Every structure is written in C-alpha cells, then in structure tokens.
Structure 1
Amino acid sequence: MTEQTPSTNTSVDNADIVRSFLEALQAQDFETFAALLSDDVIYQNVGLPTIRGGLRVTKLMRGMEGKARFEVKFHRNVVEGSTVLNERTDAIVLGPLRLQFWVCGVFEVADGRISLWRDYFDFYDMFKATLRGVIGIVIPAVRRTM
C-alpha cells in the first residue's frame, strides 16, 4: 500500500468539501451549507450578478426553503490544489415544474471553506429546460430525472 502525499490528501478533502456543500444545499441543511462557506465567499453564476459574503449567499439559498428544491448529480470532479472543477446536472424543482440543466462549477477552497463558487451554464440550455419542464407538467413522461 502506498502512502498518499499531503497534497493528494488535501485535494481529496477539497473535493469532499465541495461535494458535501452541494449535497447540504440539496438536503436544505443550511447549517452545514453555511459552515462550508468562508465569510467573504464570492458566488457567481456567470452572466448574472455576483453575490459576496457567506451570510448573503446562505440567505439567498435559504429563500428556496419550502418553495423550491435543488437536486445535484455529479458527473466529474477534478481537483488541483485548492481548486475543484466539477461537471454536474442540477435541477430546480418548483412544485410540478422541474428545470434540469448542465452546470460546470469552479470552487476555491481555503482552510476547509469555500471562498469562490462560480457556476457556468448555458442560457439556451436553461430555456430548453424551462420548455421541457412546462411540457412535463402536462405530459409527465417528458420529465427528466437524475
């Protein structure tokens, strides 16, 4: 058995932090979610306004509680030092409306907490997800699942 170097262990830890963070959002476990954010986190959905600060990001996500659900499926996590890059499918579920779309996320982790959360997605893909979601309300067989 070979021993892992500290940098490998740190990389694995950083990937686990990001996975735990998004899974906490999915579970609406906002205590864990907030604990994994740095106080001065930068949250960007590229093409939309940037949100700064752990309290603001948590408040935004907590606003979904009881109104919407977030789901995540990871396809790949790539780690280099403090940076975690993932490809995933996200879903936002608002009652019978399910919007499922591809996302690429970039996370920076420092001292066990996320200091940057930047998501890239395609607005055309979101438009298609919205159409499919609306049609899926009427024809449930069209709904996508994770």
Structure 2
Amino acid sequence: MTEELVKQDSITTVREFFAALEVNASGEALDLLHPDIVWKNTSLPDVRGIRRVGGMLRGLSRGWIGFAVDMHHIAADGDIVLTDRTDYLRVGPVRVGFWVAGTFELRDGRIILWHDHFSWGNFLRGTVVGLWRAARTRG
C-alpha cells in the first residue's frame, strides 16, 4: 500500500469513528478501536482498554446525552492523524461547544491512541454559553 493510501485510510477511519459517535452508534465506533486503545484527555486520567473506553462511549448513547463534532482540519502522516475540531457535548437542553486538537495513532487500521488536548477555560466558556442558551430558549 502506498503512503498516500495509508494516509487516506487513516483519515477515513478517524472520520468514520466520529460519524459513528455522532449518531450514537457506539458499537460501530468500537469496531474502529484497537483492543489496547488508550484515550487521553488534557489533565484527566487515561482510559485504557476497549472495555473501559467502550463503557465511556456507550454512555454517550443515552437519550439525554449527546455528542457532535465540527471537523475544521484533519491531516495524516501514515498512521498518525491530527484533528482540529469543535466538540459539542449535550446534557439535556445544554449544549457545550469547545475547541479540541486531537492526535490519533492507528495500528493495523484501528485506533490505538486517542489523545485530545483542550483548554479548560474554553470548555468553561462553552458551558456558560450553553447554559445561557438553554435558559433563554426555556423562557
């Protein structure tokens, strides 16, 4: 397989992963993860293994919780994929949008490392805006 095909396959895998998360298809998302997956988030404990990561992702499938993403940029160098995106977490009527830079490493065509970097300040701002919008639409 040429280097260009590996890059495209890696990007496709990451895009499909996020697409599955957006439609609450955690089973499809899990199929794209390596059994030894490590999910890292800025200043939070690492989540290791398909069972634990799967439990977290299945939690996004509850009716009152949701996830969406706006992918701004995505690039690959072989099995490494970098993303620049806005993630949206919804809890009930509150939708929190915040910027995330992600690094994904793939092994055997599956994501083995998912490392997200975000600003707690930006997350807090998104929370305040989400709460304000939810309160405004209720009245």
Does TM, scored on the shorter chain, surpass 0.5?
Answer: yes
Aligned residues with identical type, % of pairs: 34
Q: What SS does structure 2 have at the residue aligned with 1:38?
A: strand
Residue 99 of structure 1 deviates from its aligned partner by 0.2
Tell me which residue corresponds to 1:83: 80
Please state if 1:6 is matched with 2:15. no
Matches within 5 A, 1:30-109: 30-66=26-62, 67-109=64-106
**Normalising by structure 1, what TM-score?**
0.90
Query: Structure 2 stretches of 5 or more lacking a match?
Result: none
Cα deviation for residue 23 of structure 1 reads 1.0
Q: Deviations over 1:48-88 (max 9, x none)?
A: 01000012101111112223100011000010111000001
**Equivalent residues, number:** 136
Deviation track 1:14-67 (CA, whole Å, cap 9, x = no partner) reads 000001001111111112111100000110012101000012101111112223
Q: Provide TM-score, normalisation by structure 2.
A: 0.94
Contact kept? 1:17, 1:113, Cα under 8 Å: yes
1:127 deviation in Å? 0.7
Alignment gaps of 5+ in structure 1: 141-146
Greater CA radius of gyration, 1 or 2?
1
